[in-house]
Amino acid sequence: MDVAILLYEGLTALDAIGPYETLTLLPGARVKFVARERGAKRTDSGALALVADYSFAEVTSPDVIVVPGSSNSTRSAMEDAATIQWLRAAHETSRWTTSVCSGALVLAAAGLLKGLKATTHWAAMPFLAAFGAEAVQERVVRQGKIVTAAGVSAGLDMALYLAGEIAGAEAAQIIQLIMEYDPQPPFDAGSIGKASPSVVESARHEMARLSASGAKAS
Amino acid sequence: MDVAILLYEGLTALDAIGPYETLTLLPGARVKFVARERGAKRTDSGALALVADYSFAEVTSPDVIVVPGSSNSTRSAMEDAATIQWLRAAHETSRWTTSVCSGALVLAAAGLLKGLKATTHWAAMPFLAAFGAEAVQERVVRQGKIVTAAGVSAGLDMALYLAGEIAGAEAAQIIQLIMEYDPQPPFDAGSIGKASPSVVESARHEMARLSASGAKAS
């Protein structure tokens, strides 16, 4: 079973790495990092690069597709003709097509979310409707073979859900234990509904700054 | 404030990327991926490489050190003289020295955990005592400026704790909201105490297989 994780310049690393770490433990899965061209892709902070071992031409019919988001470069992925073309074609034969964070907007730009419920990062939520999707504020949303996840860290929950659907609950639980995914965040501010108004306002401000500034470093 | 995240051949990606994604959002932080030599380092599955932009010689006195673990290559980091030397020297002047997963064994091999409480991945727990550390089965353990985290995904909780200590609770909560870290795993099998006996047994078996086989792919 081929799992294709899309890489592009400016992606958010954890959007891709949460599902990677989970799905690479799935029995029989072969994870492939795929990009328009092979090679190192810089993440949105500028401080890291992830290497794509495969080009689009080399992975045309993956079983699972994972599309990560970005704090500042989602639009460039949405507007890249080769990316949209690869995604549409790969989706035709995929068993699962998934996104994390603003990666949902890339699915939307490819026309895959029309008339469907979907989720994304809370700050990207207003943009889903423009593509005919129904924005839903949930951690993981499934519509047929399409599964969208909320922001950044939600890719872990999405991939664990997917592992359960693909290989069964016991196999998914083995993966969860190997990753010791027993989350105990020291604060409880991970969603709009749980964070204080001042935290929400500051986070909105910071996300606007990140989005406007492009890559933070280098 | 310089945050140095150690990379080496065979590391577990999420061990490094959880803290990276968290700490890169810390006001004033500059995250640097550091390795013995610059360049791409393959992760333990073989399916991905992360690029180190800096060599040990270029980052000698980081404020924060993060040491990730590995499912099959921790020992090579523990036995690498250059790594141990860099870690000992950097620890002399660091404000925080931290580990995720079996990264604690690298701290231990450098002699940094003698007489201290520490945690690590549940499967690596028995090895801590050999280095004079007191193994504690907790998510995050702090002893002075040393903070160790449990397996793989625990780096998220550790880094968020660290963000709170460094920049205050409000700043950490802003980061948590930007990462939408509101975990909702679909199963509750993330620790030895919560998983069923058959899941624990299978996970032990799978970890032994991963450890013995070296990198899974390529």
Considering CB atoms only, which of B17, B32, B174 is closest to A17? B17
Place of tokens 């080009």: A55
How many other β-carbons are positioned within 10 Å of the β-carbon of residue B145?
14
Angle (CA) B164-B166-B168 rounded to 5° is 45
Distance from CA of A70 to the nearest CA of B (A): 11
In this predicted model, what pLDDT tens digit does every residue of B71-84 receive, in sequence order?
999 999 999 999 99
Cα within 13 Å of Cα(A218), Cβ side:
12
pLDDT band at B212; cut points 50, 70, 90 = confident
Q: Do A172 and B187 touch (CB under 8 A)?
A: yes
Residues contacting residue A143 through CB under 8 Å, at least 6 positions apart? A116, A117, A118
Q: Is A179 at the interface with chain B, CB within 8 A?
A: yes
Cα within 13 Å of Cα(A10), Cβ side:
18
pLDDT band at B216; cut points 50, 70, 90 = very low
**In the predicted structure, residue A192 carries a pLDDT above the cut 60:** yes
Q: Do A101 and B30 touch (CB under 8 A)?
A: no
Residues contacting residue B168 through CB under 8 Å, at least 6 positions apart? none
- Give the mean model confidence (pLDDT) for residues B113-136: 96
pLDDT band at B215; cut points 50, 70, 90 = very low
Residues contacting residue A121 through CB under 8 Å, at least 6 positions apart? A69, A101, A102, A150, A151, A152, B180
- ipTM score of the complex? 0.95
Please say whether the dihedral angle defined by the alpha carbons of residues B164, A101, A156 and A84, taken in this order, is positive or negative.
Answer: negative
Question: Do residues B121 and B148 make contact, with C-beta atoms less than 8 angstroms apart?
Answer: no
Q: What are the structure tokens assigned to B163, written together?
A: 């963000």
Residue B130, class by beta-carbon neighbours within 10 Å (0-12 exposed, 13-18 middle, 19+ buried)?
exposed
Place of tokens 């997917």: A162
- What's A119's DSSP letter? -
Q: Strand, coil or helix: what is B35?
A: strand
Question: Do residues A177 and B189 make contact, with C-beta atoms less than 8 angstroms apart?
Answer: yes
Q: What is the mean pLDDT of chain B?
A: 96
In this predicted model, what pLDDT tens digit does every residue of B5-26 receive, in sequence order?
999 999 999 999 999 999 999 9
CA distance A12 to A68: 7
Q: What are the structure tokens assigned to B213, written together?
A: 């086989």
Q: Do B191 and A180 touch (CB under 8 A)?
A: yes
> CA distances (Å), A104 to each of A118, A140, A160, B186, B217, in order?
7, 11, 18, 20, 29
How many other β-carbons are positioned within 10 Å of the β-carbon of residue B198?
11
Cβ contacts of B173 on chain A, cutoff 8 Å: 187, 189, 195-196, 199
Distance from CA of B193 to the nearest CA of A (A): 10
**In the predicted structure, residue B55 carries a pLDDT above the cut 70:** yes
CA distance A98 to A179: 21
- Give the mean model confidence (pLDDT) for residues B154-168: 98
Q: What pLDDT does B217 receive?
A: 37
Q: What pLDDT does B178 receive?
A: 98
Cβ contacts of A207 on chain B, cutoff 8 Å: 178
Q: What pLDDT does B218 receive?
A: 34
DSSP state string for B129-195: GGGT-EE--SSEEEETTEEEE-STTHHHHHHHHHHHHHH-HHHHHHHHHHTT-----SS--SSTTTS
CATH code of domain B2-185 = 3.40.50.880
In this predicted model, what pLDDT tens digit does every residue of A134-163 receive, in sequence order?
999 999 999 999 999 999 999 999 999 999
> CA distances (Å), A140 to each of A200, B128, B166, in order?
21, 37, 32
Amino acid at A205: H
CA distance A169 to A171: 6
CA B73 to chain CA mean position, Å: 13
Question: Do residues B158 and A181 make contact, with C-beta atoms less than 8 angstroms apart?
Answer: no
Question: Do residues A50 and A16 make contact, with C-beta atoms less than 8 angstroms apart?
Answer: yes
Phi-psi region of A39 (alpha: psi -120 to 50; beta: other; left: phi over 0): left
**Residue % of chain B over a pLDDT of 90:** 96
Q: What pLDDT does A214 receive?
A: 62
In this predicted model, what pLDDT tens digit does every residue of A67-112 receive, in sequence order?
999 999 999 999 999 999 999 999 999 999 999 999 999 999 999 9
Question: Do residues A213 and B198 make contact, with C-beta atoms less than 8 angstroms apart?
Answer: no
Angle (CA) B75-B108-B136 rounded to 5° is 110
Q: Strand, coil or helix: what is B31?
A: strand
Task: Give the distance between the most distant pair of CA atoms in chain A.
Answer: 47
Considering CB atoms only, which of B33, B49, B199 is closest to A47? B33
